[in-house]
Amino acid sequence: MAVSRRLIAIWTLLLLAFVALQYRLWLGEGSFVEMWQLDQRIASQKEENARLQARNQRLAAEVIALRSAETALEERARSQLGMVHPDETLFLFVGDARQ
């Protein structure tokens, strides 16, 4: 009888240790769930970085174009700011508002 109680106590302790280890493995700090969430955040951040890298490359190319060619600067001033030379006349045609 004493052996069976001792055996039951040992099995109970082993079961509790196993459950505690499983809890940490699946739900605790450094668990599979936390690693999966970190992987998702890393993938999302990589996508964002790629998008920002492409934007930075477009802006760098635009800066190079503006520094190297005066015509590019003039074209940008005309299209975005509506600037004209002193001897020019600007005609602005506005479409029908009903369309």
- Domain ranges in the chain are 1-28, 31-80
> How does residue 2 score in pLDDT terms, banded at 50, 70 and 90?
low
Task: Say whether pLDDT at 82 is over 90.
Answer: no
| Whole-number Å distance between alpha carbons of 22 and 20 | 5
> What is the pTM for the complete model shown?
0.48
DSSP symbols for 10-62: HHHHHHHHHHHHHHHHHTSTT-HHHHHHHHHHHHHHHHHHHHHHHHHHHHHHH
> How does residue 98 score in pLDDT terms, banded at 50, 70 and 90?
low
Quote the tokens at residue 72. Answer: 């590019």
Instruction: State pLDDT tens for residues 15-74.
Output: 998 888 887 777 777 778 888 999 999 999 999 999 999 999 999 998 887 777 777 777
> What type of residue is 76?
R
